[in-house]
Amino acid sequence: MNELRLAWEPENLTPLSSIEERMVLYTKGRGGIIILGNGTLLSLTKGDSDVEDAKKALDEARFITDFRVVHLKEGGYMVAFHDAVAVFVGHDEFEQMKEEILARQNELRFPGEVFFAPPNNQSAHTLIGLYARGKLQRDAYFFSFYKRI
């Protein structure tokens, strides 16, 4: 059986140290966030193994299709897929990749996936969300644990 995957799983361009700084700011040092190598953020309670818990969460999150994009006042975007799963997309990262995302947006959709929006209405939030979903997929299939803060 073939596994359902996106055709393009982009690599994170925002330095993980920058994402970490931002998450420390947002959590006011309380932590509780696992940062993965491609910009995925997991809000998981501390268990026996952060790595195994993150792998399990990603395995379950691979097929989440809905997303909500939040423009951050400090710059960049937080794309929420679930209460416990989000992806950070930096402002510069999106601006650098915008034309490629626009050109390759069909590769960021699952086969047969249809959006309930006018076809000529490609808002920035839709493009950011699709891009973030591709980053999430890359973290799921090419797992790389960065750290828990």
pLDDT in tens, 116-147: 665 555 589 999 999 999 999 999 999 999 99
HEC-encoded secondary structure of the chain: CCCCCCCCCCCCCCCHHHHHHHHHHHHCCCCCEEEECCCEEEECCCCCCHHHHHHHHHHHHCCCCCCEEEECCCCCEEEEEECCEEEEECHHHHHHHHHHHHHHHHHHCCCCCCCCCCCCCCCHHHHHHHHHHHHHHHHHHCCCEEEEC
List the domain boundaries for the chain. Answer: 16-143
pLDDT in tens, 30-85: 879 999 999 999 999 999 999 999 999 999 999 898 999 999 999 999 999 999 99
pLDDT value, residue 1: 46
